[in-house]
Amino acid sequence: DWALDRAHVLHPWTNFGPFEAEGSLVIERGEGCWLWDAEGRRYFDAVGGMWCTNLGLGRADLADAIADQVRTLAFSNSFVDMANPPSARLAAKLAALAPGDLNRVHFTTCGSTAVDTAWRMARYYHAARGEPGRTHVIARENSYHGSTYIGQSIGKRDGDRVPEFLYRTEGIHHVTCPHLRTAPDGMAEAAFTDWLVAEFEAKIEEVGAERIAAFFAEPIQASGGVIVPPKDYLRRMAEVCRRNGILFVADEVVTAFGRIGHWFASEAEFGVVPDIITCAKGLTSGYLPLGAVIFSDRIWQAMAEGGARWFTSGFTYSGHPVACRAALEVIGIMEREEILAHVEEVGAVFEEACFGLAEMPTVGEVRGRRLMICIDNVADKATGRTFPDEVNIGKRVSDACEADGLLVRPIGHMNVMSPPLVMTSDDALRVADTLGRALRRVADEL
Ligand code: PMP
């Protein structure tokens, strides 16, 4: 299988380029938090698929619900004028769980198509209300918003936006990433928050509020290295949006459905009710592809009253009955098994154990919240100097973990973890311990 994969399957990040890798894992089976490769070796998946296998793999109740739905109604298109029970019920459930007045749902196929749709929806909203000039958006440096043309253009992590003909810059602006450690002049949290808000206001002034449709933000930047913003940052940015008629889009593709202990992080963790939420991943716990754009009644009304043109959007698989049934079952399990409370508990253990790794010789910073943690490796702890690319430090640490039966994700010089929410406190301690030993071995080798 490995030879077939090499011969035919494109892995753009690792086939070519700076992170070219000589891996050889063919994953054949998964159960709970564990994966088995083709040679029968077992790995604890602290990557959680990629922020998504929240309930773990191989659950019989999910498999049964999915199989039942396949037998009952395997497919029906719902983006024109038909409904199906799983998609209608899931939309109602999301409306009940979502913060504030977000009670309308448009289903997409994944996180990227949710972001793409949110971008179009934001622009449409303003046009429908007689402000067609609001076409620009503002996002942040170091963000990741998916792999469609627009998602990749709104996102701005180092290395994602090459070559430049693959994304657009026109009408898309970026403000500073709210990473306290990188604050200018070593500012403290409150001063840095003021600075970020002032920078945002200046950017709005420069572009012209009357030209801006939306501000996009992940409540916690995920693939950029788990950047938890200052406490008041999102609330204050949202206030600036509101004053300027700009829609606030919270990209909760990673943070929704329990990753940090809430259904949605924007309100529960940061006190903000967005105008639009994008989500995916944990929505089905990775069992089937599904994304959703959840938006306010106000936006719905603007669409309804918008006049001549309707909002043309929809995918063949919008509201796919099997994917929606999987999501309903996932949410049901999360409620029955009190997964959010479990995340509070195991997340506290995991945070503490991982934050303890800050003592390691190559660890510059440990960041994160609950089951979303990043280890940022540095060559020199005093100055924060990073390793040269050829050291490939993130990959070295991940390889050292892999040799010990643990999967953690390398992102450049960082290692990121998002284990299944169902892991136990013992698992959490074991993951941190194995990672600690790997960090020590790599430091000794360097
Ligand atoms: N937004 C965020 C915040 C993400 O982390 C991701 C995926 N990592 C996406 C959007 C894109 O989701 P998908 O890969 O399902 O298209």
pLDDT tens-place values along the chain, 446 residues long: 888 988 898 888 777 776 666 667 899 999 999 999 999 999 999 999 999 999 999 999 999 999 999 999 999 988 777 899 999 999 999 999 999 999 999 999 999 999 999 999 999 999 999 999 999 999 999 999 999 999 999 999 987 877 888 888 999 999 999 999 999 999 999 999 999 999 999 999 999 999 999 999 999 999 999 999 999 999 999 999 999 999 999 999 999 999 999 999 999 999 999 999 999 999 999 999 999 999 999 999 988 887 546 677 789 999 999 999 999 999 999 999 999 999 999 999 999 999 999 999 999 999 999 999 999 999 999 999 999 988 999 999 999 999 999 999 999 999 999 999 999 999 999 999 999 999 999 999 99
H helices of 229-315, in order, are 233-243, 265-270, 297-305
Question: Which stretch of DSSP H or E encloses residue 112?
Answer: helix 111-128
The helix/strand count (H/E) of the chain reads as 15, 15
Q: How many residues does the chain have?
A: 446
233-243 and 189-207 are packed helices; what angle lies between their axes, rounded to 10 degrees?
20
- Dig out the tokens for 311 from the structure: 């909002």
- Dig out the tokens for 387 from the structure: 């390793």
Burial of 191 (0-12, 13-18, 19+ CB in 10 A): middle
Looking up tokens 């898309």 gives 172
Distance 156 CA to ligand 1 centre (A): 13
CB 151 within 8 A of CB 145: yes
Can the peptide bond before residue 163 be classed as cis, meaning omega within 30 degrees of 0?
Answer: yes
Give the residue whose CA is nearest to atom 12 of ligand 1: 111
Residue ranges and CATH numbers for the domains of the chain are 2-58+338-445 (3.90.1150.10), 73-336 (3.40.640.10)
Looking up tokens 């990753």 gives 259
Give the residue whose CA is nearest to atom 7 of ligand 1: 146
CB 246 within 8 A of CB 212: yes
Distance 246 CA to ligand 1 centre (A): 23
Give the residue whose CA is nearest to atom 6 of ligand 1: 146
Per 3-state DSSP, the chain is made up of helix, strand and coil in percentages (nearest 5) of 45, 15, 40
| Torsion region of 283: left, alpha or beta (phi above 0 gives left; psi -120 to 50 gives alpha) | alpha
Distance 221 CA to ligand 1 centre (A): 11
Whether the pTM exceeds 0.95: the reply is yes
Q: What number does the ligand 1 atom closest to the CA of 115 have?
A: 10
Residue 23: predicted pLDDT: 67
Distance 361 CA to ligand 1 centre (A): 32
Distance 446 CA to ligand 1 centre (A): 34
Q: How far is CA 293 from CA 90, 102, 117, 325, 403, in A?
A: 12, 10, 7, 17, 40
Report how far residue 412's alpha carbon sits from residue 6's, in angstroms, rounded to the nearest whole number: 23
Give the residue whose CA is nearest to atom 15 of ligand 1: 111
Distance in angstroms between the alpha carbons of the first and the last residue of the chain:
34
ipTM score here?
Answer: 0.99
Give the residue whose CA is nearest to atom 1 of ligand 1: 145
Q: What number does the ligand 1 atom closest to the CA of 148 have?
A: 16
Residue 336: predicted pLDDT: 98
CB 116 within 8 A of CB 151: yes
Q: Which residues line ligand 1 (CB under 6 A)?
A: 110-112, 115, 144-147, 218, 222-223, 251, 253-254, 280
Distance 414 CA to ligand 1 centre (A): 18
Residue 259: predicted pLDDT: 98
CA 144 to chain CA mean position, Å = 8
Probe target for ligand 1 pocket from 249, 254, 264, 374, with the most ligand atoms within 8 Å of CB: 254
Probe target for ligand 1 pocket from 50, 53, 144, 153, with the most ligand atoms within 8 Å of CB: 144
Residue 423: predicted pLDDT: 98
Q: What number does the ligand 1 atom closest to the CA of 143 have?
A: 3
